[in-house]
């Protein structure tokens, strides 16, 4: 069966997830417009795609209107790690809210299908475990993480109001912890932190006692889920959880990274950040039944691929992870 080529906009396309999504869409034969303001996205993430005649890059901030012609929109633009989204919390909220308004307005004008990359952070520090899509969450609206948590919650509200009021064709994916090549080396997220510290032989910093749990999905699996959701019939709007339901403690993750890197790093402990969730695991029953999707890459295999990426990055950039 021949694939109908579409022109697809990916906001945040030079970021960790966005660059992998651009790559996957190009492989499927689509034309891709990558839009990024490079606050957390990096040109290096998409440099290998520049020569592809179906690929275009545009520097743009989604808090301002965008006037382009496309068939579909994946809205991934927003800093996703606490280090980055707390750097300028007002701008983070604007990116989620104004960005959603601008992309929804574009989709309305074009009558285009649009997908919102939401987050498991809409569940806050959950009182229901594992988290299902019908759980409304337990979120601090005035805390240090609120710029991201509440910004994403508001974006979901906007998406469903545009759907109800303007019959817009929307998709909402709630993304749980994802890791893999092209993560920013200094983004403060637990997988990249642990790997960078282990490769440098530095102590691995665990916030809290390490008993808090997370579930980690390899990036290739996550991208498959996003594409599968976009391809569903219009009646399927989501929200749909996308993540790996295998749960482990932060301490177990640290020990796995030490083993796989062959590092001599020791564990050190620091106070838990404000509003840091104690546990996080997706219920992906809906993704399995609606999308026929579930993660396939085991944690150990995914960590090995990610460690190999960071080893190459250190060789290129030096121990700091920054260009000289």
Domains of the chain: 7-316 (3.40.50.720)
Q: What is the mean pLDDT of the chain?
A: 92
Specify the pLDDT at position 324: 39
Catalytic residues: 148
Single out the residue of 175, 244, 133 nearest to residue 12, CA to CA. Answer: 175
Count the residues in the chain: 324
Residues 285 and 262: their CA atoms lie apart, in Å, by: 37
Q: Token pair of 22, please?
A: 């651009």
Is the confidence at residue 80, as pLDDT, over 80? no
Average pLDDT over residues 99-122: 97
Where residue 184 falls among pLDDT bands split at 50, 70, 90? confident
CB 45 within 8 Å of CB 14: yes
Checking if the pLDDT of 58 tops 70, the result is yes
Give the integer Cα–Cα distance in Å for 80 and 183: 11
- Residues 123-144: pLDDT tens digits? 998 899 999 999 999 999 998 8
The answer to whether residues 112 and 70 touch, using CB atoms and an 8 Å cutoff, is yes
Token pair 């482990």 is found at 248
pLDDT at 308: 97
Check whether 22 has a pLDDT greater than 60.
yes
Confidence of residue 234 (pLDDT cuts 50, 70, 90): very high
Mean pLDDT for the stretch of residues 288-313: 96
Cα separation, 115 vs 251, in Å, equals 34
Q: Is the peptide bond before 239 cis (omega within 30 degrees of 0)?
A: yes
């Amino acid at each position: 069966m021949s694939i109908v080529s579409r022109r697809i906009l990916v906001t945040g396309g030079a970021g960790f997830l966005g660059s992998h999504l651009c790559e996957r869409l190009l492989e499927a034969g689509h034309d891709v417009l990558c839009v990024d303001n490079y606050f957390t996205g990096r040109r290096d993430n998409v440099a290998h795609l520049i020569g592809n005649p179906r690929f275009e890059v545009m520097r743009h901030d989604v808090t301002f209107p965008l006037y382009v012609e496309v068939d579909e929109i994946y809205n991934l633009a927003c800093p996703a790690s606490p280090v980055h989204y707390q750097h300028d919390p007002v701008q983070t909220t604007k990116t989620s809210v104004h960005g959603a308004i601008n992309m929804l307005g574009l989709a309305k004008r074009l009558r285009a299908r649009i997908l919102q990359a939401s987050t498991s952070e809409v569940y806050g520090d959950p009182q229901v475990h594992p988290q299902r899509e019908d759980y409304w969450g337990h979120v601090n609206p005035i805390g240090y993480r609120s710029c991201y948590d509440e910004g994403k919650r508001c974006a979901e509200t906007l998406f469903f109001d545009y759907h109800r009021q303007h019959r817009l064709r929307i998709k909402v994916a709630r993304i749980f912890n994802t890791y893999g090549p092209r993560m920013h080396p200094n983004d403060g997220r637990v997988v990249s932190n642990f790997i960078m510290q282990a490769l440098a032989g530095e102590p691995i910093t665990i916030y809290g006692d390490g008993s808090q749990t997370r579930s980690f999905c390899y990036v290739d699996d996550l991208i498959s889920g996003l594409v599968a959701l976009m391809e569903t019939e219009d009646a399927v709007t989501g929200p749909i959880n996308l993540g790996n339901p295998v749960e482990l403690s932060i301490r177990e993750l640290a020990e796995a990274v030490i083993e796989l890197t062959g590092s001599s790093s020791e564990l050190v402990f620091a106070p838990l950040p404000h509003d840091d969730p104690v546990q996080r695991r997706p219920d992906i029953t809906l993704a399995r039944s609606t999308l026929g999707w579930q993660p396939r890459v085991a944690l150990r295999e995914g960590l090995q691929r990610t460690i190999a990426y960071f080893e190459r990055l250190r060789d290129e950039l030096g121990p700091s992870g920054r260009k000289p």
